[in-house]
Chains A and B, each alone.
Chain A
Amino acid sequence: MGQKTEISNLLANLPRLGAGLTYHEPFLADLLQKQPEVDFLEVHGDRYLDAPPARMDELAMLAEHFTVIPHFTGLSLGSAEGLDAVYLENVAHLIKQLKSPWWSEHIGYTRANGILLGQPAPLPFTKEGIEVMTRNIVTARRAIAAPLILENVFGPLVWPGSEMDPARFIGEVLGFGGVGLLLDVADLFTYAPGLGIDPIKLLDRLPLDRVVQVHFSSSHDSQADSSESRVQPVAEGVWQLLNAVVTRAPVRCLCLELNDNPPPLGDALKEVERARTVGRQYKRWN
């Protein structure tokens, strides 16, 4: 009970940021002109570990103009082999430099036996999975003072041999770890059916009081086999889930997540504005 109160207080004190998006280098020039339309930036934190000086200067400049939230994939909190101590040290150093209100990683893993994946793989929904996550979260929280929030990874792989349903698994990881939730509604929308659950039913079973941030995006799955940049609108089903989360959860910010081949900034900002309006409607911010 004591631990639950402590985390609730911590999350309640986090700032209400509004709506923002993932930063990509081609946005830089336009971003500074459109600063009023962006409440915060999420950066791929892994890009700034061991990074060249020019990239670090750019990050410092961004942090002067925006609230910057670092989002990581490479720390791999779900790795059964444990954390990479040097990687953790670098992550801790970057977060300290950025003075971010919080930082994020995944309920999944990207590293095993020296190979690093660019995208997290889910964990089996088992007691062992919870133990691994909890152990690594404790190590990470010892090294990093800023609050940690973790993102759901429901697909595309589903491990056979689940011992519990995904909502309980996430609830236990967040509970034992004492951390918040970064709820990716596109991941929920795309992969909940593969787990045999309706996305909205799964949403209702998640610990929504822990949601700090929401990721929404066009799709996790339909990236074409091409390196051409393309614009895909966020699906209406994803917007419906986003609405449902904002009505039910004390969200601090909504983030348009853009991975490879980002669209032109102007197009992305239209989606950001729509999200900002949803948050305003439910009085999550002014």
Chain B
Amino acid sequence: MELIRQQKLVVQLCTDHALLEEFLAAPAQVTTREGLTVGAESLAKLNPGQLRQFARLLRMRRLGEAGTALPLTRRALGHRFAELFTAYALQNPPPGKRLGQDAIAFVNYLLQSNPTKPLNPVWLMSLASYEAARVEVEWLGQRKLLVRKFPHALRRLLTAFEADGVPKGDFSGWTLAVWCSSSSGRQPRHWLW
């Protein structure tokens, strides 16, 4: 059925920025490569403005989800959260079907893309990695036991976040975080040292 291939291509165009630009420059080239036959001509007539608008709406939806998964990271970054997430989402389609996977991939992207120029505040990446680890255990439930070490004093930092605004200070120190799930259907236990 041609609609299967058409839907596949529309989904790809709206989640893969580079492919969208290639398609808008030379639609026939892309539809041929994707194996479209009867439906190719019709898809080539898709409105570029509408495609871009839909792609942007999808990124906004992903941004909203990532902000829910990483609430303190979003607070600490302020408007830069949206900028950084958009830069990530333009290069990376949604990685999976489950809620939280995109947020984890975003944190990995931050870890890989800024090794020389760390983000401010200095503890930002420790906080983001901590929130990503929490999503991995508490949302995705893929691990029975997770142990992570962070180069900042996270317990003090999390307490400082209980007040309004973004905590000041460098929160130097070390933290060991442990999550342990005893059975499915139960909230995992969690310790910070």
In the complex, which residue of chain B has the Cβ closest to the Cβ of A128?
Answer: B3
Residue of B with least CB distance to A262: B64
Per-position binary interface string of chain B over residues 1-41, scored 1 when its CB falls under 8 Å from any chain A CB and 0 otherwise: 11110111011101100000000000000000000000100
A129 at the B interface (CB under 8 A): yes
Find residues 59-94 in chain B having any chain A CB closer than 8 Å to their own CB. Answer: 60-65, 67-68, 74, 79, 81-82, 85-86, 93-94
CB <8 Å contact, A225 and B15 = no
- B contact face: mostly helix, strand, loop, or mixed: helix
Alpha-carbon distance between A259 and B47 when the two chains are bound, in angstroms: 25
| B-side contacts of A64, CB under 8 Å | none
Partner among A50, A156, A159 whose Cβ is within 8 Å of the Cβ of B53: A156
Chain B residues in 8 Å Cβ range of A156: 50, 53-54, 57
Segment 221-235 of A: residues with Cβ below 8 Å from B: 221, 223, 225-228
CA distance A124 to B185 in the complex (A): 41
Query: In the complex where A80-B4, A109-B7, A157-B54 touch, is A223 in contact with B138 (Cβ < 8 A)?
Result: no
Smallest CB separation, B108 vs chain A (Å): 19
Closest to B100 in A: A52
In the complex formed, the residue of A with least CB distance to B53 is A156
Q: Is B124 an interface residue when CB atoms closer than 8 A count as contact?
A: no
Rounded to whole Å, the gap between the CB of A272 and the closest CB of chain B is 21
CB-defined contacts of B141 to chain A, threshold 8 Å: 50, 52
Residues of A within 8 A of B109 (CB): none
- Distance, CA A132 to CA B67, complexed state (A): 35
A267 contacts chain B at the CB level, 8 A cutoff: no
> Is the CB–CB distance between B82 and A226 below 8 Å?
yes
Instruction: Contacts A80-B3, A121-B54 given; indicate if A115 touches B15 (C-beta within 8 A).
Output: yes
CB-CB under 8 A from B58, the residues of chain A are 117-119
Residues of B within 8 A of A279 (CB): none
Residue of A nearest to B183 (CB): A53
User: B46 an interface residue at 8 Å Cβ cutoff?
Assistant: yes
For B67, the chain A residues whose CB sits under 8 A away are 227, 260
Q: When chains A and B are docked, how far (Å) is the Cα of A228 from the Cα of B187?
A: 30
Chain A nearest Cβ from B100, distance in angstroms? 9
Q: From the candidates B6, B15, B60, B65, name the one contacting A223 in the complex (CB within 8 A).
A: B60
A50 to B139, CA, bound (A): 8
Q: Are B99 and A113 in contact (CB-based, < 8 A)?
A: no
Question: In the assembled complex, how far is the CB of residue B143 from the closest CB belonging to chain A, in whole angstroms?
Answer: 12
CB pair B1 A53 closer than 8 Å: no
How many angstroms from the CA of A158 to the CA of B42 in the assembled complex?
11
B61 lies within 8 A of A225 (CB): no
Query: Which residues 219-258 in A have Cβ within 8 Å of B in the complex?
Result: 220-221, 223, 225-228
A227 touches B14 (CB 8 A): no
> When the two chains form their complex, are residues A117 and B14 in contact, meaning their CB atoms are under 8 A apart?
yes
* CB contact under 8 A between A118 and B65, given known A52-B187, A80-B7: yes
Let me know if B54 and A112 touch, CB within 8 A: no
A81 in contact (CB, < 8 A): yes
Known: A115-B94, A227-B64, A260-B61. A81 touches B12 (CB 8 A): no
Q: Provide the bound-state CA to CA distance between A25 and B65, in Å.
A: 12
Binding site for A on B (CB under 8 A): 1-4, 6-8, 10-12, 14-15, 39, 42-43, 45-47, 50-51, 53-54, 56-58, 60-65, 67-68, 74, 79, 81-82, 85-86, 93-94, 96-99, 138-139, 141, 184-187
Q: Which 6 A-B pairs have the closest CB atoms?
A: A260-B64, A118-B61, A160-B45, A161-B42, A80-B3, A112-B11
**Given A52-B138, A52-B141, A227-B64, 8 new contacts (CB under 8 A):** A51-B139, A53-B184, A81-B7, A109-B7, A112-B4, A112-B10, A157-B10, A194-B50
